[in-house]
Structure 1
Amino acid sequence: MKPVPVLLGGLLRASENVGPGEVAAKHPHTYQFCVWQAEKLGIPIRFPEHHPFLTVTPQRLLAQQNADWAMVERAFDYVWIEGKDPNLSWPDFCAYLGLPADTPKPDSPDIKALLIANTKQAREDGAFGVPALIVKQHCFWGLDTIDWTLDYLARPQMFEEASYAYAANVPNGLL
């Protein structure tokens, strides 16, 4: 499995949704949950001085570099352990990723198109937010679905079982 950089804003717009930072009550709830979850897992966490911030340029860099999991993890560490916004400290961010500090911010039409294409493909595959794992045409969205994903990998016929098929087709009483 390979990480694929996408534009969260593009996924949110496509599903007519907004991010937690755009909902007043959801903002502190989500961020405090992140702190709690990190404590439970023994993972250090330090929020950047402001969040959300624009991720398009760092995502372009990851796409341009054809980033592997190690580079993506370093990018996450820079934001969530170091507590820094890559846009405000670009040379340090690049060096943190193991790239030359003078790496320019990606701005080529090809990289922009690649990130847009990645986002479009993710939408077509069923993603509507991040993090999302697409496994055999099933979208597992959010940190809390990792165990579900692992169960699915161990039980690949899961979605063909009657209860799952029924749950997927329950009529929406609000429409």
Structure 2
Amino acid sequence: MMPTKDVNEIIKAVFYYDIISPYTYLYIHQRRRLEERLAIEPIPILLGGLLRATDNRGPGEVAAKRPHTYQHCIWLAEKLGIPLQFPEHHPFQTVAAQRLLTQLGANWSMVEKAFEYVWVLGKDPNLSWPEFCEHLGIDFATPKPDSPQIKAQLMANTEQARCNGAFGVPALVFNGHCFWGLDTIDWALEYLNRPNMFQEPAYQSVCNIPSGL
């Protein structure tokens, strides 16, 4: 007789993020809904690199999507009671900031501060780097990371995200499944209570539908 799996077992999960994403900012404010069941490790990636690797584009790169996406984020923030202020311009380059978070091995507290700088204070770290560093709680004179090791680590994080099924952020991965987007929190919770979900016939069948294009 096989042992019964403890539904209250804490499962390790990884969370791929880039501070460019307002949806990721809104997600991390709600992640505690998952933390009773998941030990979630935040991992910085480069969204632009992930999008290129998966032949994808971010909504900020599509002129027709930009106002819709930005206004949707404003509405969601209002609905959730979460403060939100867009930075001076968007999209913007996040390479230096993501490298710094990689270099620091940023925990959730620091990740939250980084997102707060962009999405509450409404600032682009590239335009006020010393202030960004101080907001993270480190020396304002910290230079933008330029070491080959940190560059390689961030690239490796991004490639690992792709290999784990991520094609955008926010992306939560555990038990070999990737849950992409703010609206998948409930799906992830349902899966935790229904661990055979992806083996069910309906879920299996849609994986094999051929493209008609």
TM interval, shorter chain, is over 0.9
Structure 2, unaligned stretches of length 5 or more? 1-39
1:69 to 108, 111, 117: 108
Shift in Å, 1:153: 1.5
Match of 1:117 among 124, 132, 156: 156
What amino acid does structure 2 have at the position aligned with 1:102?
A
**Larger RCO (CA within 8 A; separation ≥ 6):** 2
Give the SS at the match of 1:2. strand
Question: Given the two structures, how large is their TM-score scaled by the length of structure 2?
Answer: 0.80
Tell me by how many angstroms 1:172 deviates.
1.6
Q: Which runs of 4+ in 1 moved over 2 A?
A: none
Identity of matched residues, %: 68
Give the CA deviation at 1:23.
0.6
Displacement of 1:154 in angstroms is 1.8
Partner deviation per Cα, 1:118-139 (whole Å, 9 max, x = no partner)? 0011101111011111111111
- 1:129-144 alignment, distance < 5 Å: 129-144=168-183
**Residue type of the alignment partner of 1:147:** D
Equivalent position of 1:82 in the other structure: 121
Task: After TM superposition, give the deviation of residue 60 of structure 1 in Å.
Answer: 0.3
Match of 2:209 among 148, 170, 174: 170
The Cα of 1:169 is off from its aligned counterpart by 1.9
| TM-score relative to the length of structure 1 | 0.97
Structure 1: runs of 5 or more not aligned: none
- 2:20 maps to what in 1? none
CA distance in structure 2 between the partners assigned to 1:68 and 1:169 by the alignment: 39
1 or 2, which has the higher strand percentage? 2
The reply on whether 1:55 has 2:94 as its aligned counterpart is yes
